Amino acid sequence: MRRICFLHTADLHLGSSLSIGGEYSAALSPLLDNAIYDAFSRLCAEAIDKQVDFVLISGDLYDGGSRSVKANIFFNQECEKLASHNIPVYIIAGNHDPLSFHRELIAPPENVHLFGGEGPASMEVYDQNGEIIANIIGCSYNNRAESRKVHLDYRGKAGIWNIGLLHTQLEAENNYYLPASIKELQENEEIHYWALGHLHQHNVLWQEKNRAIVYPGIPQGRDMGEEGPGGAVLVDLVPDSEPEIKYINLSSLIYQRIEIPVDSIQKGNLIDLQRLIMEIGEELLKNHFYLPLNNEQIVEAYIVDWVLTGRSEVSSILKREKEEAFEYLLNSLQETFISRKPMLWSRKIIDRTGMPIDESLIQNNSIYQDIEKIIFFLKENPDFQEELLEELGLIWSGDADHEELDPTLFHLNNTTLEAVLRQARQLILEELLTRRELA
């Protein structure tokens, strides 16, 4: 086996659109329309620049019913650029673009290879000298839900790199998205690199000498649930070494949720809070992300939710003048940053602040100590988290489907649980102090 280099991506969802929610500046419209396409263009430019041996797409190239002539033509044009540099593309269909959906509206270039859905199949990759350098194994979705454990039948070939394409949620008991487990993938020693798709967060799940299991993440986030810079992974497989896996930023628009502790403005007012948020906004733009490709700046906009936390006198202003205060802050932030490069659009302000509390007054209080024990127990005990879900009501869901999130539900992940418990603790402490003062 010789050293090989390839780009691994998934979940491009060509044809889908970005969401902000509510009104937004017309200056953002071109970015919202083109960001997903721009991410794939950058990926192909990176493939050419790095002279990779091939490109892998691990499912959901298109976004189901959103497949269009525009998306199809665009994809083919980008792949023709790759073909001119002898770079083949290997694809499996995922749950959003299964084979039972519309076929290609326009025939793809000859360098594009799509796996069928009958079962695992192999495709050999040759270098320019006609020598086999890799064996790609894959199986497409026939329908939106697939309960087959197809990965158990992936077979490698001796003497070359074997790479498995799999679009899975990586849950052994999940009967919708090719059920599998990390352990099962690890046990198949014939496969050197598992090129996964479906989960939209980049994650190197496991690696050792000659082997790895990797999610590349989504190239371009489409809403605040896909926060942070999107991208793909550039992979070098080197004999008798751990795979070299480099994350490549591709997003031109980044969703960001930023916490603003207000503790530093204890006696401050709305203007002090405005100044604080603007300083952090300036810092964000100063340290924004770059793609190391011809020194090209690629981030064109940030969509930001500002989360106000901590304790300060300014909290009373926010709660007393909530609607007007937030309208003033949002308008001033939007007007200040919309003409900047990159631009910054403030989507919303979330208030999780509280009035200052002298916790020394209640640290010896037995009720306070019980509250701290309960909160710690809830954070650490999965069974009680399930009970908490039931108590919170039907709008909450604990087992979030990463591809089919219901917008009417609040999905209780670790971050959300932490915020709920922190806010509950704050409200209880404030109530304890209020009752103490009234006693």
For residue 336, give the nearest of 222, 259, 328 by alpha carbon: 328
Whether 305 contacts 348, CB under 8 Å? yes
pLDDT in tens, the chain (439 residues): 999 999 999 999 999 989 998 889 999 999 999 999 999 999 999 999 999 999 999 999 998 755 688 999 999 999 999 999 999 999 999 999 999 886 667 889 999 999 999 999 999 999 999 999 999 999 999 999 899 999 999 999 999 999 999 999 998 777 789 999 999 999 999 999 999 999 999 999 999 999 999 999 999 999 999 999 999 999 999 999 999 999 999 999 999 999 999 998 988 899 999 999 999 999 999 886 544 444 455 899 999 999 999 989 999 999 899 899 999 999 999 999 999 999 999 999 999 998 887 667 666 777 777 887 888 887 788 777 677 666 665 455 444 455 554 444 455 566 677 777 777 777 777 677 666 654 5
What are the percentages of helix, strand and coil residues in the chain, rounded to 5? 35, 25, 40
Please state, in angstroms and rounded to a whole number, the distance separating the CA atoms of residues 418 and 378: 10
How many Å apart are CA 265 and CA 257, to the nearest integer? 21
Q: What angle do CA 91, 193, 200 make, to 5 degrees?
A: 60
Looking at residue 126, the DSSP 8-state letter turns out to be: E
Can you spell out the DSSP letters for 214-275? EE---SS--SGGG-S--EEEEEEE-TTS--EEEEEE--SEEEEEEEEE-GGGTT--HHHHHH
* pLDDT value, residue 389: 64
40 touches 82 (CB < 8 A): no
Q: Which two tokens stand for residue 8?
A: 């691994």
Residue found by looking up tokens 């970015």 in the block: 31
* d(C-alpha 337, C-alpha 190), whole Å: 52
Here the tokens at position 147 are 């309960």
- String of b and e for 178-194 (b: at least 16 CB within 10 Å)? bbbeeeebeebeebbbb
Rounded Cα distance between 352 and 360, Å, is 22
Give dist(CA 43, CA 48) in Å, integer.
9
| Cα–Cα distance for residue pair 166/37, rounded to 1 Å | 23
**What is the CATH topology of the domain spanning 4-249?**
Purple Acid Phosphatase; chain A, domain 2 (3.60.21)
With CA atoms as reference, report the closest residue to 203 among 242, 175, 245, 255.
245
Q: Residue 51: what residue type?
A: Q
**CA-based diameter of the chain, in Å?**
87
pLDDT score, position 421: 78
Strands 121-126 and 112-114, by their bridges, are: unpaired
Q: What pLDDT score does 175 carry?
A: 76
Supply the pLDDT for residue 97: 93
Helix axes 29-50, 69-83, angle to 10 degrees: 20
* Span(s) in the chain for CATH 3.60.21.10: 4-249
Q: Within a 10 A sphere around the Cβ of 362, how many other Cβ atoms?
A: 17
Number of H helices and number of E strands within the chain? 9, 17
pLDDT number for residue 309:
92
Answer for the pair 163, 135: CB distance below 8 angstroms, yes or no.
yes
CB 83 within 8 A of CB 127: no
Asked if 37 and 74 count as a contact pair (C-beta separation under 8 A), the reply is yes
Q: What are phi and psi of 428, to 5 degrees?
A: -65, -45
- Match 């969802």 to its residue by tokens: 13
Q: Kindly state the tokens that stand for 344.
A: 């910054």
How distant is the alpha carbon of residue 86 from its chain centre? Answer: 31
Task: Burial-class residue 404 by CB neighbours within 10 Å (0-12, 13-18, 19+).
Answer: exposed
Q: How many CB atoms lie within 10 A of CB 203?
A: 13
> What are the beta bridge partners of residue 248?
232
Predicted local confidence at residue 302, as pLDDT: 96
